[in-house]
Structure 1
Amino acid sequence: MPSLRSALCLIAALSAVPADARDYRYTDMHLHYVDFFQETDGMAELLQQMDKHGIQHVMISGVSVAKKWHEDEPRRPRYYAGDDAAVYWYSATDTIVAHALEQLDEEQRQRFHPFMSGFNPNDKNADEHVRRMLEMYPGMWQGIGEVFTRHDDLTALTAGDTPRANSEAMHRVYYLAAEYDLPVMIHSNITSKRERNPLYLPELEEPLRDHPQVRFIWAHAGTSKEIHRHQEKLTFLHDEVERLLGLYPNLYIDLSWTMLEPYLLDSKGEPDPRWLQLVERFPDRFMIGSDVVGKFGSLGEYMTGFDVFLDALPEAVAHKVAGSNFLAILPAAKHDESEGKATAEAAAAR
């Protein structure tokens, strides 16, 4: 009796779900539409994964560098760290993102919040590129980033000077961001792979202090997988994040994947009480993302991976971190538009 067996399986599955299980409507605030070769699974696959996993909104950006397949390399690398060939700044990444969004209908497009990233952070012409893109695609761009500055091995492979969050070129970008009310996402590692102190933190803290009108998103709170390969856990990270949040109301923290472990969750997979307390103290300043690069099959796994931590927060705070905190820092018009749509969706669900 297959139908009876199926019914019993369904009843068992439903009984295993807690009655008060939370239904998160995720906003992925850190997604790259392309990879380091400027290739992508495409918008149809991305939308399918979003719908499948309850991801309502996505911050979408390109990747500001492209990996070179060097003449001396017999096999095409699969990742930027696959061999010793350089990566180089690639401004067409913004055009790829813009073109993909232009193919969508209006309802689909409202779910995406594009950030531009295709410029060299050490080039004092960078702000002119940003202004040019704003004029070429009026009303499209909602932020700037992810801007790669200190990024361990990626920095070492990038042609040209070491990019810094406090370069003169970036200060010009921040003034432009303030002019257009655009948030800025910065990848600026807090330290190097081996130094057990916040070696590079002043490079981020300077613009936080000097540009109080700019909303900064600190990608991964300054961590990276490569740092963790050499230092399993940065013991000073929590205290520095707490200090910065207390000093700079324009700072927001991206908790995407390198923050989930070993910070938000301990070695047993349990939520860390110190990070829970910190998020509760600053409930509007944390947000989650997948940080996928051009491949979207793991999108749901990355986003639902935060559920253990989210479930340990007060429910109202958890929903902010999972969804609305990112939307709240978008340019005013886009924020109102997205919040209105989210309210309408919630009302329809009831």
Structure 2
Amino acid sequence: MPSLIIFPLFLYFFLAPTTGHAQSERHYCYSDAHIHFVNFFQRSEGIQALLTAMDQACIDHVMLTGLPVTKKWDENEPKEPRYVFGDDAPTYWYSASDVIVAEAVKDLPPAHRQRIHPFISAFNPNDMNAVDHIERMIRLYPGLWEGIGEVMTRHDDLTALNLGNPVRADSGGLPRIYELAARLDMPVIIHSNVTSQREHEPLYVEEMTRALSAYPDTKFIWAHAGVSMAINRRMKLDFIVGLLDRLLNKHVHLYIDLSWSLLNHYLLDENGKPDSEWLELIEKYPDRFMLGSDAVGRFGNIGKALHAYNPFLDALNEATAHRVARDNFLALLPKQAVTLPYTGDKTKTLVDDGDDS
């Protein structure tokens, strides 16, 4: 792999104050429900670095995905960008990211392989044929994949930077993907900001609720509960707990990924004290929340990221805390290996262009 690039966007969490985070009244082992094997240049520290970090931090299981977009080094830029927002060059959809993940995982010894749970992510949700990519990956690597995503929809400045039309949680290519996910019992993790960086209202929530209502058998994991660090820099969404309560009550297959942008802005106050409304919400739905580091190509800090939740976990009922820390993510995974048969029908693999020659 080329030398690794460091991305400040994802360092906020790891550099945030950690007073009181080191000690816990209980012992936890974790599932990290949100890890990107590569960064926005499709580069990674590698699978051995990830396994080492897991062993050091009592992380039993990880969701592992690529990144569906990659950063362009534009010919007009004299220096390769070090950061996805380092210059004005765009990002673009990059399907090889799934192959990078699969090749890193497929030959691991069984003791390691059973701890890694790969998700397919490298497709354009606006493409009506995006489901073909997912089916192709499952056929190329039978029994390897266990979920879909992170599906990138509303995503702050990344939405504007990416080539092509903006993506919604109910974009045209996603219905067929949601149907396939339900049929194969594969959870879908989706990044869909609940609002823009300047509007203090759930501006985009209907895009998410339309998907939830139309595909009630699909297991949706909402990344960061629709909140992002870009939104956090401008405002705190005081409606988010009530909104999540209503949605979780109505949609039994909605789950919430509590990864990084929520911790120091919502779950814990500036003094590291757990928020009572969030505690009450999670106790009300103890099987519906999970933790994630949202690491991007580098893995040395994933333990620090998950251990930082300990003050919040300690304030939960102990059984709920262990569910959130480890078990809820595992409960969503397919109960059997995901495979698709080859039909032998060439129309599944060849496009009829009308040329019989």
Residue number in structure 2 paired with 1:3: none
In the alignment, is residue 310 of structure 1 matched against residue 313 of structure 2? yes
Contact 2:144/2:337 (8 A) holds in 1 = no
Residue number in structure 2 paired with 1:126: 130
Q: Give the Cα–Cα distance (whole angstroms) in 1 for the partners of residues 123 and 165 of structure 2.
A: 14
- Cα deviation 1:302-347 (Å, max 9, x = unaligned): 0101101001101100000000000001112369xxxxxxxxxxxx
Following superposition, the deviation at residue 179 of structure 1 comes to 1.7
User: Pick from 192, 196, 218: which aligns with 1:192?
Assistant: 196
Residue number in structure 2 paired with 1:170: 174
- Paired-residue identity, %: 54
Residue number in structure 2 paired with 1:82: 86
In the alignment, is residue 330 of structure 1 matched against residue 299 of structure 2? no
Secondary structure of the residue aligned to 1:283 is coil
Residue number in structure 2 paired with 1:263: 266
Which stretch shows the higher mean deviation, 258-267 or 26-35? 258-267
Consecutive unaligned residues of structure 1, counting only runs of 5 or more, are 1-16, 336-350
- Cα deviation 1:36-87 (Å, max 9, x = unaligned): 0000001111111100000000000000000011112222222211111100
> Quick one: which amino acid aligns to residue 294 of structure 2?
D
Residue number in structure 2 paired with 1:225: 229
- Cα deviation 1:261-317 (Å, max 9, x = unaligned): 211001211000000000000000000000000011111110101101001101100
Secondary structure of the residue aligned to 1:196 is coil
Structure 1 runs (4+) deviating above 3 angstroms are: none
Q: Give the Cα–Cα distance (whole angstroms) in 2 for the partners of residues 281 and 147 of structure 1.
A: 27
- Cα deviation 1:188-247 (Å, max 9, x = unaligned): 00000001100000111111011010000000000111111222x111111111110111
Secondary structure of the residue aligned to 2:178 is helix
Secondary structure of the residue aligned to 1:330 is coil
Secondary structure of the residue aligned to 1:289 is coil
In the alignment, is residue 25 of structure 1 matched against residue 45 of structure 2? no
Residue number in structure 1 paired with 2:350: none
TM-score in terms of structure 2 length: 0.87
User: Pick from 227, 236, 241: which aligns with 1:238?
Assistant: 241
In the alignment, is residue 273 of structure 1 matched against residue 312 of structure 2? no
Q: Give the Cα–Cα distance (whole angstroms) in 2 for the partners of residues 43 and 239 of structure 1.
A: 39
Residue number in structure 1 paired with 2:70: 66
Quote the RMSD (CA, aligned, Å): 1.4
Q: Give the Cα–Cα distance (whole angstroms) in 1 for the partners of residues 264 and 283 of structure 2.
A: 19
Secondary structure of the residue aligned to 2:336 is helix
Residue number in structure 1 paired with 2:355: none
> Quick one: which amino acid aligns to residue 324 of structure 1?
D
TM-score in terms of structure 1 length: 0.89
Give the aligned length. Answer: 317
User: Pick from 19, 24, 44: which aligns with 2:48?
Assistant: 44
Secondary structure of the residue aligned to 2:295 is coil
Instruction: Report which structure shows greater RCO (CA 8 Å, sep ≥6).
Output: 2
Residue number in structure 2 paired with 1:13: none
Q: Give the Cα–Cα distance (whole angstroms) in 1 for the partners of residues 159 and 316 of structure 2.
A: 36
> Quick one: which amino acid aligns to residue 280 of structure 1?
E
Identify the structure with the greater helix proportion.
1
Residue number in structure 2 paired with 1:251: 254
Following superposition, the deviation at residue 97 of structure 1 comes to 0.3
Q: Give the Cα–Cα distance (whole angstroms) in 1 for the partners of residues 238 and 284 of structure 2.
A: 20
Residue number in structure 2 paired with 1:298: 301
